[in-house]
Structure formats: structure tokens, C-alpha cells
Chain A
Amino acid sequence: MADYYTYQRKRRDLGKPCNFQDSEIKIAGYTKTVAVIPNYVKRNPNHIDLDNIAEYSEHSVNTERVSTGDKVMYHKEGGWPAGIDPLEQQDQNKYRRRFEKDAAFAVAVKELSNTVEKCILQNNQIDLFEEYFLDEESEHQVENLSTKTLMLFKDQSEGVKRSVSEISWHPEGPIKAAVSYAISRFQQMPEGMMKSSYVWDLQNPNSPEFHLESNSPITNLMYNPKLSDQIGGGCYNGLVAVWDVKRGKQPVLTSPVEKSHHDPITHFQWLFSKTGTECVTTSTDGRVLWWDTRKLNEGPIESLNVTEGSNPNDPLIGATVLEYNTEAGPTKYLIGTEMGSLMVANKKPKKAVEITARYGLESGRHLGPVMSINRSPPNPKFFLTVGDWSAKIWVEDIKTPIMRTKYHGSYLTDGCWSPTRNGVFFLTRKDGWMDVWDYYYRQNEIAFSHKVSETALTCIKINSNGGAHHNAGKLVAIGDQDGTVTLLELCDSLYQLQFREKDVMNEMFDRESRKEKNLEAIKKQQDLMKKVVPKDNKAAQQKWEQRKAELIAEAEQQFSQIVKKDEEAKLNDLSEFSPKAQKKDDKKQQSPKDDDKQQQQGDGGQQQDQQDQGQGEGDKDGGQQQDGDDGQQQGNDDQQKGDDGQQQGGDDGDGQKEGDEGDGQKEGDEGDGQKEGEQE
């Protein structure tokens, strides 16, 4: 136990300056004792505990924490003075009232409201910050139509310039285009001319991606819409061939020479059949042939001879172009001919192909061969044909065109509708220009013309499917006579559907169809008039009328003579005889004819009856004449009347009959005309 030292001091002494005092030195010591020494011996072994670990002690120190307190306070009420509870309505009111009673407050309010009012009135004068036409964009902007030439595909053949005979876009989009090259001018093809056609890739316009080899130049070709590897085409020698892009340059299938067309193929078209292997070709030899590419060796599966009349012995007409569209009808084939007329062939299963309709036989026939037929994409009832110098629009149920463009400066070679815009179609001309007609905008003028090439343009195709970079209807491929294919990019307004364009165009087409029907009706009426007028003016009828008039005049003359004599006799007799008896006697004397009649009357009552009947008729017809007679005439006997009446009646009756017949015919014709008009 530690011995605690306790320090004690009085309270008052605390803090006093210390008084240190020296203390005495004390000496401490010990006494020597000898007796202990013997006990002082070293032990062996000796035990010692050594510790080399410092002794630890634990001590914890914390800095002092500031004490925290929670308080919640809202400052929503505004800065009220300390003495007022903002929540107490009474306090508030009291506080307010104090100010409101203040005279200075009233004055201030008066002043302030004056100031504010002045400002308000100032502001009301004019809306200083108004911006005219704010947020209004210009609705209509003049937009110039334009085209941009994207690329040119040039024919690879050297020396001879082959013209582009046909272009076909890849069915999946505007990525590739197959182009055929041929010289269609008769015997202008040089020996050893290059006969291959190409497939161009839009990525690489410098060289063709693929060659289509053939024994004869390809005049027409088309991508198979179902199998995009397949390209079908027709050759100059009339053969049909099919190439497969995967299987090399040579055609995989060729039709036999003896069963093919005898002339160059003018159009090749794949059909939308189930198998995707059927196609149809036209040629200038006047035949349209249907093929199945699986059985190409066996010749065509169907054949149609193109004639203008229904007589099978009519001369064949070369078919120049064919239009086939499933929307219009999978069995309908529109064929354009070299004579400028159009045919509709109908190919029904298990029946022979027949021509069901012929367009433009009477009027509307193209002056040259039909170069192109296109059905309007949204409304396949209407189709556009291109031939000679103008393009015409037809509707299926009318045999004449409903609309016609003006004559162009040179021959038109091809044309097509815009696949996206209903009212726009493109025409290519022989002088190297492309014309765009926009019927949505105006019908009398070309919307836009563009010179594509120095030489004649031969064909035009627009992409109907959109691709990665190009929308449908945006790219136009135009081939020319020198073998160059120009790819044009149309401006937006030329391929984007305009406001209400569909409705407007449909209305316009309907209106034009009605107009054409009305014109037809008017024409029929005019023809009818031509027929009717000569009938009326028949010389014989005139003669007959004349004779009738003569007869009547003669009768009248006779009658007036009788009357004159009668009057004279009457004047003479007035003084001497009784008037009745005298009259009768006079009559008998004056007209021996009458005497005979009277005798006859005496002979039989039957005749009297007949005469009476005659009189009846005579009354009707000769009534006017008799009414005009003198009163004395009335006094005449019945015989006289009957006689005249009979004569006149007989005459008139015949004349009437004749007239009735004439009228009846006329009416009948008119009736027919009306009926026909109604039927239409």
C-alpha cells in the first residue's frame, strides 16, 4: 500500500507566495554489523525474473461534442413585426387597420394608383412588343423543278455505238440496273458487234458488275420480280433467254429457234405467276407468246396472233409493247401495235387467248407505232400510251383517249408514270430531251424539260421501290442511242406526293372520261341527224307533196267555179222561182258528175253509207275549207259535201298515211337514239 501524503493548508493561505526555507541537512547511515557476513553466500543456481515488456496502461480521450438541438420554423407568413402573431386574424387586422387609418396611407395610395394608372394607359396605347407575323412561316414558296445527274453508265463496246434498248431496275431497290444494248435499225448492225449486255451497280458506275452474254443482241430484258437473280430477255433473233447472275455469263435457258419469234423481240415481261417462271414476249412478227421458263425448250405455252379485226384471216400486226399489271387483272394484257392501236388480250386458264378489246381503231390511233404503255400505278384503269409525237391517256371502258398531250417537237420514244406521284409522267424524246408533265399542276404545258443527251433517248425507267438512300420514284434511268445510261435524281417535289393529289387526279380522270362519253353521244346524234335529213328531203316525197298541192288547188278551183255559177243563178232566180227547187235543178245541170253520183245514191244505200263515211273523214280534214265557205254552201245538199269530202278525204288520207309513215320512222329513229343514249 502506498502511503498517501496528505497536504493540508488553510484556505486563506492558498495562493500565497511561496516562502521557501532552507532546511537542515540530515545525514542518514547504517551501522556495520560483522555477524551477518558469514550468511552472505552466493546461491547456485540463482533465479532472476527479467521482464523486457513495457507496462501498458489504457486511457481514452474524446474531444468535446457541440450539443445540437432541433427546431422547425416556417417563413411563409411574411415579415410581421415581433409583437404580432401572423396566424391570428385579429392581430393582422388590427395591424392593418392602424395603417389604413393613417392619413399618409390614403394619400400614398392615391398617388400610387395615379402613377400606375398613368402607366397602364400608356401601355394600352400600343402593343409595343407585338411582332407582326410572329411564328408564321411562308406557306408557299416558289420551287424550281430540277434534276441532278448522279452518274453515267457508258457502253463498253468499242467502235460501234450500240443504243440502249431497255433498262430494268433491280426488284429489291435502286441498287442495280440491268441494261440491254442493241441496234434496232434495220441492217445497221455491223458484223462482229459486241453482243453482251450489262448489269450495273450504282456503287461502281465505272465498269459493269456483270456481263450477260448472248448470241444475238438483247433487245429487251427484265429482272424476275420473284427471283432477283434471274434476268429474262429477248434477243434480236427472236430467242428468249434467261440468265442467272449466280451461274455465270451464259444464259441458263434458251428457247428453241424454230419455235421462237421470227422477228426481234420488242418486249419481254415476267408474269406474277405462282411459280415465278412464266413470261410473255411480243415481237414485230405479230405474235405474242407465253413461255414457261421451266419448259423453255418445248416452245411457247400459248400464242396469240395480233390482228385489228376479229377475222382470223386479217393481216398480222407487229406488237411493239406489252403492259401487264396484276392490279389491273392478272389475265389482262395490254398490247401496243405498230399500227398505233391498242389491244387487250385476255388469257384465261384452259381457254385460248383472245383479244377482248381494241382501242383507238376509229379515232385516237397513234400516228406511229405505240412505243410504251403504262398503267397509272394507283389506278390501273387509266393507262398512258406513248406513240408518234404525243402521249395519250386512256380509260379501259372507252375506246378513245380521254386526254392527249400536245404534239412534242420530235418523236417520243418512251414514257412512264411516276410510281409515287399520280399526276406526273415522264416522256423521252428523240432529240435528247426528257419532258415531265405534271397534270396535277397544269395540263396544257410541260412542267419541266431537261436535256439528257445529244442523241436520241431510247428508254426511261423509274425505280418503283425505295432503297437505303433513295426513295421510290426518285431515280430515273434514261438510255440513249449512244449506249449511255444517265441516272437522274429528281427534286423532291417531283416525286413526293402533293397535297390531295390522289383526289384531284381521280376527279380529273373521271371528269375527262365523262367528257369523252358525252362527246361520243353527241357524235352519235350527229350521225343520226345525217341519216334523218336525207330521208326527209327525198325527191319523191317532195314530188308527192307537190302533186297533192296541185290536186287540192284543182279541186278548189272547180269548187269556186261552181260557187260562182251558183251565185249567179241565185241572183237570177230571186225574182222568179222558189230558191230550193231552183238550187237543186241548177246543181243537176251544172255538174254532170254530180248527177251520176246522185243516181248511184239512188241505186244503193250501201254506197250512201260509204259516202257518209267519206264525208266524215272529209269533215275532219277539209273542215277548215268548208268552214271558210259561204253560208249558201251550207244550204247545199249532202251529196255535194260528201263528194268533195270523199275526194279530199281520200287524198288527205293517203297523204296522211305517207306522212305518218315518215313520222313514225323518224320517231322510231329518235326513240332508238334516245334508248342508245340512255344505255350509255
Chain B
Amino acid sequence: MQPINDINVDEVLKGLSAVEGANGFVIFNQDCIPLKRSEKNITYEKAVHMSALVADLWNVTKKCIQRELRSQDNDLEIIRIRTKAQSEYIISQQGDYTMIGIQLCGKAIEEAKLAAAAEAQAAAEADKAKKGDKEQS
């Protein structure tokens, strides 16, 4: 087991974001306060919403599994929600902390890449235009 102090949380999360298809994550605690989120594509408000909804879902699901299915030994480990927008929400809990990972699947990865490329191009053009304006002025 690694010594605890050696774990760099940010590094770990960066590594997670680098996995193909990964498109954001939120980590929140027992109070549903989002502690970590991928700043790039999840705003704070969205993170709050997500953690509220997911916490509820998690608790209810857990209760259901344990109480309604009458199996005390079973425990909820992971919830994976596949959406129509070709993305998947992966929810898992470890101790007091819960993580929501968002993943793009299938064609959505390609589409996202194309969109990113187009955006980059647009940005580059906008930069050029700005420069041109400056030169003119």
C-alpha cells in the first residue's frame, strides 16, 4: 500500500481526465458539497445540482437494495446511467466521498473532437481578426 501522503489528488484526477472518453467528474462529500470538479466543463452550479440529485439517488438506491430487497449483505457499489445523448454517468462511493464521472460513448467522442477542433479554429480566426483590427488601428 502506498503511503497516504504520496497521493497527489490533482495528479490522480488529471490522469482520470486523460482517459479517452472521460468528459468530467464531480466529487462531493456527505454534505453534498462538491469538493472537486473538472473545471473545464462543469460549472459550480451544475456541480451542486448534480451532487444533490446523485446523493439522493444514491441514498434511495442503497436503501432499496438493502431494505426492499431484504438483503442486508448487499451493498451498492456503483451506479452507471446511460443517457440518450450517448454519455454515461458513473457514480461510485468510497467512505464519505462520492464521485460522478461523465463519459462520452461511441460516436459522441468523435463528435466532441470535431466540435473542439471547430471551436479551436473559430478561436484562432477570432484572434486573427483581433490582430488585424489592432494593426489597422
Among candidates A77, A95, A116, residue contacting B16 with C-beta atoms closer than 8 Å: A116
A441 CB within 8 Å of chain B: no
Contact with A along B86-124 (1 / 0, CB 8 A): 101010111111110101011100000000000000000
Determine if B31 and A80 form an interchain contact, defined as CB atoms under 8 angstroms apart: yes
B52 CB within 8 Å of chain A: yes
Determine if A108 and B33 form an interchain contact, defined as CB atoms under 8 angstroms apart: no
Contact with A along B1-22 (1 / 0, CB 8 A): 0001101010011011001111
Report the separation of the CA atoms of residues A112 and B35 in the bound assembly, to the nearest whole angstrom: 14
Contact with A along B55-88 (1 / 0, CB 8 A): 0000000000000000000000010101000101
Q: With A116-B90, A116-B92, A117-B19 in contact, is A76–B35 under 8 Å at CB?
A: no
B42 CB within 8 Å of chain A: no
B133 CB within 8 Å of chain A: no
Contacts of A103 in B (CB 8 A): 4-5
Contacts of B36 in A (CB 8 A): 109
Determine if A123 and B48 form an interchain contact, defined as CB atoms under 8 angstroms apart: no
Report the separation of the CA atoms of residues A129 and B25 in the bound assembly, to the nearest whole angstrom: 22
Report the separation of the CA atoms of residues A129 and B103 in the bound assembly, to the nearest whole angstrom: 14
Contacts of A116 in B (CB 8 A): 16, 22, 25, 90, 92, 99, 101
Report the separation of the CA atoms of residues A344 and B37 in the bound assembly, to the nearest whole angstrom: 87
Shortest C-beta distance, A77 to chain B (Å), equals 7
Determine if A107 and B7 form an interchain contact, defined as CB atoms under 8 angstroms apart: yes
Contact with A along B26-40 (1 / 0, CB 8 A): 010101111110000
Contact with B along A89-130 (1 / 0, CB 8 A): 000000110011001111111111101110111011001011
Report the separation of the CA atoms of residues A325 and B21 in the bound assembly, to the nearest whole angstrom: 69
Shortest C-beta distance, A634 to chain B (Å), equals 91
Contacts of A123 in B (CB 8 A): 21, 88, 103, 105
Residue of A nearest to B95 (CB): A108
Q: With A103-B4, A116-B99, A119-B78 in contact, is A96–B35 under 8 Å at CB?
A: yes
Q: With A108-B97, A112-B97, A123-B88 in contact, is A79–B32 under 8 Å at CB?
A: yes
A38 CB within 8 Å of chain B: no
Shortest C-beta distance, A83 to chain B (Å), equals 12
Shortest C-beta distance, A120 to chain B (Å), equals 5
Determine if A78 and B33 form an interchain contact, defined as CB atoms under 8 angstroms apart: yes
Q: Summarize A's interface: helix, strand, loop or mixed.
A: helix
Residue of B nearest to A95 (CB): B33
Among candidates A99, A112, A121, residue contacting B94 with C-beta atoms closer than 8 Å: A112
Determine if B90 and A109 form an interchain contact, defined as CB atoms under 8 angstroms apart: no
Determine if B80 and A124 form an interchain contact, defined as CB atoms under 8 angstroms apart: no
Determine if B33 and A104 form an interchain contact, defined as CB atoms under 8 angstroms apart: no
B45 CB within 8 Å of chain A: yes
Determine if B7 and A106 form an interchain contact, defined as CB atoms under 8 angstroms apart: yes
Contact with B along A56-99 (1 / 0, CB 8 A): 00000000000000000000111111000000000000011001
Give the interface of A toward B (CB within 8 A): 76-81, 95-96, 99-100, 103-113, 115-117, 119-121, 123-124, 127, 129-130
Give the interface of B toward A (CB within 8 A): 4-5, 7, 9, 12-13, 15-16, 19-22, 25, 27, 29, 31-36, 45, 48, 51-52, 78, 80, 82, 86, 88, 90, 92-99, 101, 103, 105-107
Known: A109-B94, A127-B106. 8 other contacts (CB 8 A): A79-B31, A80-B31, A108-B95, A109-B12, A112-B98, A117-B15, A119-B88, A119-B90
Closest 8 CB pairs of A and B: A127-B106, A116-B101, A112-B99, A108-B94, A108-B97, A106-B7, A78-B48, A113-B16
